[in-house]
Amino acid sequence: MVTDATFARDVLGVKGRPVLVDFWAPWCGPCRMLAPTLEELATEADGKYLIAKINTDENPRTSSEYRISGIPAMLIFKDGKQVDQLIGLAPKQAIVATLSKWQ
């Protein structure tokens, strides 16, 4: 779990591989539906990418900075820069395809 306080280190500070950040909240039904897919991807990552989650209710600064207006929202970062995004409940294949572009 990433927070406002750890975002720079845990996401922006990662070099050489993409980091998918899932912006979510506990009350969000589609976010709960997406969680098992992201857990699968995290176990299958084999060092190629990282999966991180940030609770938008508890971490409003980062959510505001990246203009998160709807969740789930998945932003992809590489070498400290946002390079891609997926908004809404995306299927596993779409997430894998997006991550693959940045490996």
Total residues belonging to the chain: 103
pTM more than 0.85:
yes
Residue 89 CB partners (closer than 8 Å, separation 6+):
30, 33, 34, 72
Fold of 7-100: Glutaredoxin (3.40.30)
Catalytic residues: 28, 31
Residue pLDDT, tens place only, 50-99: 999 999 999 999 999 999 999 999 999 999 999 999 999 999 999 999 99
Q: What ranges do the domains of the chain cover?
A: 7-100
Tokens 């500070």 correspond to what residue? 13
By 3-state DSSP, what share of the chain in percent is helix, strand and coil, each rounded to 5? 35, 25, 40
Residue pLDDT, tens place only, 14-63: 999 999 999 999 999 999 999 999 999 999 999 999 999 999 999 999 99
- In this prediction, residue 83 carries a pLDDT of 98
d(CA 64, CA 30): 20
